[in-house]
Structure 1
């Protein structure tokens, strides 16, 4: 089995710490190591280093080499440009198949957190044998502990095989709070971990079936990879394959897991002070009558007085002041800000 770590995302919900030049997978968010370093080193403690790969965008080649100097060039797969997880995983599968390698792959994000790696590895071992079957996709479904609106969900059958597998019946996009509260009451619903176990030939089968244009462009012999890649749609692997595939099974898991997708996810990982505040960064911070806030500052002296439930982040890239209830809007608000800047410059 090979581990393929996907490290090409932009992490816009962690703005202004995470920016295009250094997105969140290259930041130290949950420990002294960056998210990418933590993920890579988690798996090389378990598998031979030769079985662990990193996929990232060409623009992050130097960052990846800087943070993982032990990773040889042949195990660094570079996307010509960022086109989301659909093209990224398709390109990776094609690379392995072109080398005559159809060994089971685990494709997983670089920015997830778990403090129970042994349980994760045990689940992946179970997934490996199932994924070796023809055209079978295996997912890890995390037993939900709260009505999370920032995650996707998987609905499964209630009949478990002897191997502990459940047939996945549908994928549910990020719900609103009311829908999430209903979903977690269903014992056959799990969080979608974004961790998938499959063979390159399985990916090729579903790509040729459901994304024929994408697959034909990647495999065309008369085009360079870069020119073909630029024509591919920006589409997630969920939309490209998973919501259409007919042979998906889920392994339920209960270990502590978080996708560290938004600022408030740090509250589930880091210890707060007596007033519920989490303070990070190099800046000097003074709090008075302030409760349940997340504060990050780079070098600046910062005073926060008489507020609660705020996210306050100050870096050289910008300033964010956001009520926790609004943080899911950071991504769209940042896009609007960037669009406005482009319109002004024109």
Structure 2
């Protein structure tokens, strides 16, 4: 049985000021269709499992009501609330222990709540291959995206040269395209990213994983006992996992498990994936032009003069953004905040948000 786990505890700070403390990125609706990012993610995954009954969501304590509002069909017992943030390792272990309590032989998948997929059918095909492989092996399966450009904002996975025996799909077709992971690489500079692409061996690390629940639990027990010990003990009591959280180390699953385990494999994939990491993603996500010259992406009321390569976004129906003589900037008007930033500095938005949170006078804008 396949149990997808959605990680929905992120703050989405690089999408500020549209993404705010009370409504992080995963609850935003960024394109036509009227569905939020977390709703679209749940739609894709529930089609691969037994509907919402086998879908779990791990979220932050202050986002519980948002999840229930956006996913009203989610059973309450499938909503795992973290009292404090402890990064992805603790969140994934929380999900694994919860699944193992009732279905120790289950296949578990891990998926961020706020990513975009252009081709849901191709996504489903890759996930079926990953599930088929995990059913037959003790390996930890990662999904690696075929790079479209030398991105500096993604981590990379180097795939090994030999294709592994992948078992069979339900339809009887070989689940091909599975490779041993050679190594994980941190976010590179531009030149290193170009070198990665030139080799043809590097994939973007999507943050999506599939494994047998017992396989990941063994990995935690061996490689991260400081997490596994207190959480496994707490899992023996319903509700006990939340009580164990404050004393847990804050670490990602990449550092705690994947970069240290020897049984990690990768499936290369192409299904139009984007992690929507910051405002620059709108150039890939949306098509619009308020300036009339085809060089800008604009949402809402905007007027541009001698402006090129800009991303202009306003949420207020009565608000207007007017730009003159600007190049390669992001201008966002959302509620009571206006953001103006060069496109090559959008990663620094998170630093501004952190500064706001530290100021009693400005915290309400965070």
Residue by residue, what CA displacement relative to the aligned partner does 1:228-254 show, whole Å, maximum 9, x if unpaired? 101112211111111111101111112
User: Hey, what does 2:189 align to over in structure 1?
Assistant: 176
> What is the CA–CA distance in structure 2 between the aligned matches of 1:198 and 1:311, rounded to whole Å?
40
Shift of 1:133: 4.2
Structure 2 residue 230 is the aligned partner of structure 1 residue 220: no
Pick aligned residue for 2:63 from 60, 63, 66? 60
User: Hey, what does 2:256 align to over in structure 1?
Assistant: 240
Displacement over 4 Å in runs of 4+:
342-345
User: Hey, what does 2:283 align to over in structure 1?
Assistant: 267
Pick aligned residue for 1:312 from 331, 340, 348? 331
Of 314-323 and 287-296, more deviation after overlay is shown by 314-323
> What is the CA–CA distance in structure 2 between the aligned matches of 1:314 and 1:35, rounded to whole Å?
21
Would you say the 8 A contact 1:289–1:307 is kept in 2?
A: yes
User: Hey, what does 2:96 align to over in structure 1?
Assistant: 93
Query: For 1:28, what is the secondary structure of its paired residue?
Result: coil
Would you say the 8 A contact 1:141–1:193 is kept in 2?
A: yes
Residue by residue, what CA displacement relative to the aligned partner does 1:286-323 show, whole Å, maximum 9, x if unpaired? 22222221112232232111212101112235322111
> What is the CA–CA distance in structure 1 between the aligned matches of 2:324 and 2:361, rounded to whole Å?
36
User: Hey, what does 1:208 align to over in structure 2?
Assistant: 221
Query: For 1:220, what is the secondary structure of its paired residue?
Result: helix
User: Hey, what does 1:78 align to over in structure 2?
Assistant: 81
Distance 1:217-1:184 versus aligned 2 partners, 3 A rule: same
User: Hey, what does 2:21 align to over in structure 1?
Assistant: 20
User: Hey, what does 1:10 align to over in structure 2?
Assistant: 11
Query: For 1:156, what is the secondary structure of its paired residue?
Result: strand
Shift of 1:142: 0.9
Structure 2 residue 255 is the aligned partner of structure 1 residue 255: no
Pick aligned residue for 1:323 from 342, 351, 366? 342
> What is the CA–CA distance in structure 1 between the aligned matches of 2:205 and 2:336, rounded to whole Å?
32
Residue by residue, what CA displacement relative to the aligned partner does 1:235-281 show, whole Å, maximum 9, x if unpaired? 11111111111101111112211111111111112113243222225
Structure 2 residue 154 is the aligned partner of structure 1 residue 151: yes
> What is the CA–CA distance in structure 2 between the aligned matches of 1:225 and 1:125, rounded to whole Å?
30
> What is the CA–CA distance in structure 2 between the aligned matches of 1:120 and 1:36, rounded to whole Å?
16
Would you say the 8 A contact 1:152–1:192 is kept in 2?
A: yes
Would you say the 8 A contact 2:104–2:214 is kept in 1?
A: no
Query: For 1:128, what is the secondary structure of its paired residue?
Result: helix
Would you say the 8 A contact 1:139–1:251 is kept in 2?
A: yes
Structure 2 residue 289 is the aligned partner of structure 1 residue 289: no
Would you say the 8 A contact 2:287–2:297 is kept in 1?
A: yes
User: Hey, what does 2:171 align to over in structure 1?
Assistant: none
Of 190-199 and 297-306, more deviation after overlay is shown by 297-306
Give the TM-score taking structure 1 as reference length.
0.93
Of 207-216 and 311-320, more deviation after overlay is shown by 311-320
Distance 1:59-1:154 versus aligned 2 partners, 3 A rule: same
Task: Name stretches of at least 5 consecutive residues in structure 2 with no aligned partner.
Answer: 166-175
User: Hey, what does 1:37 align to over in structure 2?
Assistant: 39
Of 36-45 and 146-155, more deviation after overlay is shown by 36-45
Query: For 1:185, what is the secondary structure of its paired residue?
Result: helix
Task: Name stretches of at least 5 consecutive residues in structure 1 with no aligned partner.
Answer: none
Pick aligned residue for 1:103 from 96, 101, 106? 106
Shift of 1:181: 1.2
Count of residues in Structure 1 that have an aligned counterpart in Structure 2: 342
Give the TM-score taking structure 2 as reference length.
0.88
Would you say the 8 A contact 1:134–1:202 is kept in 2?
A: no
